[in-house]
Structure 1
């Protein structure tokens, strides 16, 4: 896996309609799930009680919060594409997101992303991405969706 480096709006625009790549695998640990539960105050047993999940859950294990897997988007995206020469990046929009399958503890996930479009908003790039969070060894992805980032590039020197 190699990271693609993009340094300008024009360079980003040249990738419209293409798959940008796939991130490395990321293991979802119980510690990460517990930290997310603490941060979001969502301590539902399906996420945080391994013993109960083993006996009562249809997954027979704890599962990651759906929003935990969504929160990994920027981290995994930056493994695919390094956007340089930026003043700022903003998580702007989730147009659609469909959770297809639960991510059980100790699963490994990776992001696959394609650049759907780039709009030039007075020098700010509005980049729409088709994203799929794949689960290693599973046919169904954790989710699919369309997300948007805003990239505020530095002025050319």
Structure 2
């Protein structure tokens, strides 16, 4: 059993990169991938020095403590939004809010999550959510356990 066995029946894979130093190793792995995934339609071998590295899509986050009073007053939403995106599966480009004001709600179908910040806007939020089919995670921002239960059950 080699590491490529995990590719079996993974027909949805459309791009595959093989990074090796030797051409013979490249050809051997390419043949194994072709056996597992089927014929390769387009193939190109790119030679580049390892010192050049690869383009990245990495973003670094600084984990720090927030003032709990500022958080409870809703003044740290910009700082918390990346955490909610990560907790929701980090789907799509990380959402950013340009204004300094906290929004009443965010519905982010491209990121598969939504956030209700102002619980008095629940009815409007629920209506907008009914028009979306990509939302998988919903966050309610509230200080009330009862309001959270009502919104979670869809009764509010």
Question: Does TM, scored on the shorter chain, surpass 0.5?
Answer: no
TM-score normalised by the chain length of structure 2: 0.24
Structure with more strand by fraction: 1
Q: Which has the higher contact order (CA 8 A, sep 6+)?
A: 1
Structure with more helix by fraction: 2
